[in-house]
């Protein structure tokens, strides 16, 4: 692999474990997390809000994959979300630049679009598929923290760093399988973590999802991307988990139609996600190999 030494922040977390697993036979991986990681490799315990800890971890590294974060609005209060996700991301870029790291791959989220959290004041998408030019309409602190993280990445890219931003949709970990089943059985009465999962079944009103094995592969491909300056990609399974086809569900949820810019996407694949996956396919070489519709059938 082009990068021999890769630092993975949040490497002990649910997604981080898959990413470390995907990389560990291909390069030397160092994990940085507040909690100890599983498996072999080199692990550093540290907090991303501590610039000293992040700088020490970034020393001698060729690339950084930044995954550590408060992963949703339910996991911390808004102040903590902004501190960890925004200041933490700033520290990672600042330390990476200071240590001469060439590339940072940033784990963002589809939440930047603003259409993931029902309880918040979601702003409907303007058109579908939602592409990289679509305005970012975040209204909740988590989504806003990810928008600001992307902007931090953009500013470091303008200073010469290679920055790749991945926007995974809701990651359907095996630990979430029962949540997905329970939600599908009775969506109206479903409340978060009813089935003992680490968080509520997510994916926004359209029930997007991506398998963690696919998401991890996307991070590996982001390291292999040739000469990026600042590039962003939506990362999703090829289908949603929703019972109705995407455009039908969208119209029901919004109570009206929206502009459909590429109807063939939904004609060829009625359960296609809201997001434009063409850049991931064409530039990153990523197409999801897994989907979890069997859980909700």
Ligand X SMILES: NC(=O)c1ccc[n+]([C@@H]2O[C@H](COP(=O)([O-])OP(=O)(O)OC[C@H]3O[C@@H](n4cnc5c(N)ncnc54)[C@H](O)[C@@H]3O)[C@@H](O)[C@H]2O)c1
Q: Rule CB under 6 A: which residues touch ligand X?
A: 10, 12-16, 33-35, 47-49, 67-69, 71, 84, 88, 107, 109, 168, 170-171, 202
- Residue 148 Cβ vs ligand X, minimum distance, rounded to whole Å: 13
CB of 116 to ligand X, least distance (A): 9
Which CB atom, from 161 or from 171, has the smaller least distance to ligand X? Answer: 171
| Nearer to ligand X (CB atom), residue 157 or residue 180 | 180
Q: What angle do CA 128, 129, 135 make, to 5 degrees?
A: 75
* C-beta closer to ligand X: residue 145 or 247: 145
Q: 227-250: b or e for each residue (b if 16 or more CB lie within 10 Å)?
A: ebebbbbbbbbbbbbbebebbebb
- Residue closer to ligand X by CB (options 215, 247) is 215
How far, in Å, CA of 273 to CA of 169, rounded?
10
Cα-only R_g, the chain: 18
Q: How many CB atoms lie within 10 A of CB 21?
A: 17
Least distance CB 123 / ligand X (angstroms): 18
Closest distance of CB 246 from ligand X, Å = 19
C-beta nearest to ligand X: residue? 13
CA–CA distance, 286 with 233 (Å, rounded to integer): 10
Minimum CB distance to ligand X, residue 263 (Å): 27
Q: Where are any strands of DSSP class E within the chain?
A: 5-9, 28-33, 42-45, 63-66, 103-107, 127-128, 162-168, 230-235, 259-260
Q: Which of 4/36 has CB closer to ligand X?
A: 36
Of residues 129 and 212, the one with the C-beta less far from ligand X: 212
- CB 170 to ligand X: min, Å: 4
Q: Indicate the DSSP class of residue 281.
A: I
Would you tell me the crossing angle of helices 51-58 and 88-98 to the nearest 10 degrees?
A: 40
Angle, helices 141-158 vs 88-98, to 10°: value is 20
Q: How many residues does the chain have?
A: 297
């Amino acid at each position: 692999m082009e990068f021999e030494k890769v630092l993975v922040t949040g490497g002990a977390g649910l997604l981080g474990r898959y990413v470390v697993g995907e990389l560990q036979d291909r390069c030397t991986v160092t994990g940085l997390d507040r909690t100890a990681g599983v498996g072999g490799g080199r692990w550093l315990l540290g907090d991303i809000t501590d610039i000293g800890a992040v700088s020490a971890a970034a020393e001698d590294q060729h690339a950084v994959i930044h995954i550590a974060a408060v992963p949703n609005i339910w996991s911390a209060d808004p102040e903590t979300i902004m501190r960890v996700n925004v200041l933490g991301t700033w520290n990672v870029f600042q330390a990476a630049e200071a240590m001469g790291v060439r590339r940072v791959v940033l784990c963002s989220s589809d939440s930047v679009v603003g259409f993931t959290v029902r309880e918040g004041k979601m702003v409907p998408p303007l058109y579908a598929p939602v592409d990289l030019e679509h305005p970012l309409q975040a209204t909740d602190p988590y989504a806003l923290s990810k928008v600001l993280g992307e902007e931090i990445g953009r500013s470091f890219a303008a200073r010469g760093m290679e920055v790749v931003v991945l926007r995974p949709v809701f990651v359907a970990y095996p630990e979430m399988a029962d949540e997905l089943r329970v939600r599908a059985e009775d969506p109206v009465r479903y409340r978060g973590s009813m089935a003992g999962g680490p968080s509520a079944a997510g994916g926004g009103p359209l029930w997007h999802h991506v398998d963690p094995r696919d998401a991890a592969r996307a991070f590996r491909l982001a390291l292999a991307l040739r000469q990026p300056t600042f590039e962003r990609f939506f990362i999703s399974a090829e289908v949603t988990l929703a019972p109705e086809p995407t455009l039908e569900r969208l119209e029901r949820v919004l109570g009206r139609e929206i502009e459909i810019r590429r109807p063939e996407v939904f004609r060829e694949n009625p359960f296609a996600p809201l997001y434009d996956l063409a850049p991931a396919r064409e530039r990153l070489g990523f197409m999801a190999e897994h989907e979890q519709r069997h859980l909700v059938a």
